[in-house]
Amino acid sequence: MDFSLRFQFLLSLHYCHSNCIVFTFIDFFAIVTWILFIGSLSQYFDSAFNGFSFPERRWVYILALSSSALCGLFIQHLSTLNMKYYLIRTIPVSIIALLYVLLSPTHPLALIVGIILLMVLAVILKFSLWRYKKLTVAILVLIVMIQQIVILDNNKNMAIKPYQQSLSTLKQHDYHSNYVNQLIKKINQNATGPFNRIDYMSDYALNSPFIYHYNGISLYSSIFNGDILKYYDKTLQINMPIDKNSTYRLLGNRQNLLSLWNVNDRIRVNHDDNLPYGFKINSEHKDNKVRWIHSKNTIHYPSAHITNKVFSNKELKSPLDKEQAMLQGIVSNNTKDVNTHFKANKNLLSDSTIKLNSAAWQSPTKHLLQVKQNNGGLTVQLPKSVSNQFKDLYFEMDLELLSPDKAHDVKVNEYTQERNKLTYKYRRFVKPVTIRIKASDRIRLSLPKGKYRVNLKGIYGEDYTTLKDASNSLEAVKVSKTKQGYTITKNKNSSGYIVFANSI
């Protein structure tokens, strides 16, 4: 960049009276390139070009355009440069490029071709080879063509080949299964309304709802809607199977949320060890090497309904409180609208005892835990008289691996979450998280060997009395899809709030 500014100064001396337009173009592209170079030092600059979401360098094509414009303006005025001036400024650039080629794990050969191009230009200037115009042009064109071929080959090997798939992949079960396709068509045909959803997502194709054409509870998008991110990570602390940015994966096997979102069917492959409360296996089908499991929700909650209850958001202390409040009515931040008091669920952590398992507290006040062996951690014991009152438990905690930097699994009884390395750029660290497990008097937090920050915040019991009562007492409304939108049919004497729990 120092070269471009100095070159701009030389050109201005030569063209200030005869070609002000050239000076303006160089000035413009030099300033743009400088701004982009300086901006590249900050992750906020990367975030701004990615919808103010996760920092990603998707703006480098603008830098390529501005720097290419500078190169183009430089080449057409190459003859105005002094040979000594040119060589002095190409030497450090060539050294940096060579070091980058040698030290970079990818060894970008295109830079070597670029260095050769600079050397050829130096020879042309030194020996005034511009006189042999055809030969000179032919050599330069040949070098540029070789460079482009090398760039294309490198790009194919680094950015395309590792992700290439054959046509047979499109017919594999983890992308598109004929059985699942027919099953989903049947489910959609028998759906009672337009908001019926299916609990299914392929790990290979995250946007499975687009492939099979159904309403799902998963989404892969980095800039879709900030409210969804808040809903998952802050409001309800939904713990997902893997901690990756830009993905929203299912609803943590939580029956209350599945009912709110009108999820009546669930599809899993090979096994379903963490079946939500209220779901029963409807059918199993073996398709080549895999076994498909289809379950149905036996609790029929009217997700579209009328309610008169308004709860205060300030009274809701835990994700379970919020779920139960939404099942019965609506939640408002405006205290003037509130007409119903909510009794918070008891935190059962005070009734528990915590034991160490192949682990030791380094600092209990700072919640630092050293796990000495794999599958070590904590065991939380509840009285059986307490755990037997509930069907599920909601386990709320802050948990973060501090060292070593490695991919690891977090296990809480039958639930497992895969977590990426600490340095993984798409890692999505959420605190606190709430994990739903089946009611048990023994909660086992199992971790790989390492140093962790662990802070147990709460244990809440769910007996599903609220869900069952709401299912029987709420007045359902009929929703029909039209070309213009939706038509709602209700009893003309009914009054209150019409709720569509599917919209956030």
What is the per-residue pLDDT across 422-457, written as a single tens digit (0 to 9) for each? 999 889 999 999 999 999 999 999 999 999 999 999
Domains of the chain by range and CATH? 4-161 (no CATH), 349-465 (2.60.120)
Mean pLDDT, rounded, of the chain = 87
Picking from 82, 290, 76, the residue whose alpha carbon sits closest to that of residue 173 is 290
pLDDT band, very low/low/confident/very high, at 59 (cuts 50, 70, 90) = confident
Report the amino acid identity of residue 257. Answer: L
* pLDDT at site 4: 39
Residue 23 reports pLDDT greater than 60 = no
Give 226 or 275, the one with higher predicted confidence. Answer: 275
Give CB contacts under 8 A, 24+ apart, made by 471-477. Answer: 471/259, 471/299, 471/300, 471/301, 471/302, 474/301, 474/302, 474/305, 474/306, 474/307, 474/328, 475/302, 475/305, 475/306, 476/302, 476/304, 476/305, 477/302, 477/304, 477/305, 477/306
Instruction: Using the structure block, give the residue that is written with the tokens 């040119």.
Output: 86
**260 DSSP β-pair partners:** none
Residue 354: name the closest of 463, 237, 457, 239 by CA.
Answer: 457
Q: How confident is the model at residue 19 (pLDDT cuts 50, 70, 90)?
A: very low
Residue 78: per-residue pLDDT: 67
Residue type, 363: S
**46-60, 70-84, 164-178, 294-308: segment of lowest average pLDDT:** 70-84
Of 77-86, 137-146, 198-207, 407-416, give the lowest mean pLDDT range: 77-86
Q: What pLDDT shows up at residue 106?
A: 67
H/E run at residue 353:
strand 353-357
Residue 310 clears pLDDT 90, i.e. is over it: yes
d(CA 69, CA 62): 11
Q: Which amino acid is at 222?
A: S
Q: Dihedral of CA 236/51/407/402: which sign? A: negative
Please give the pLDDT value at position 136.
80
What pLDDT does residue 20 have? 42
Q: Are strands 392-403 and 376-381 parallel, antiparallel or unpaired?
A: unpaired
- Per-residue pLDDT, averaged over 256-262, amounts to 96
Q: How many residues does the chain have?
A: 504
Structure tokens at 90: 């190409």
Q: What is the pLDDT of residue 30?
A: 85
473 has a pLDDT exceeding 90: yes
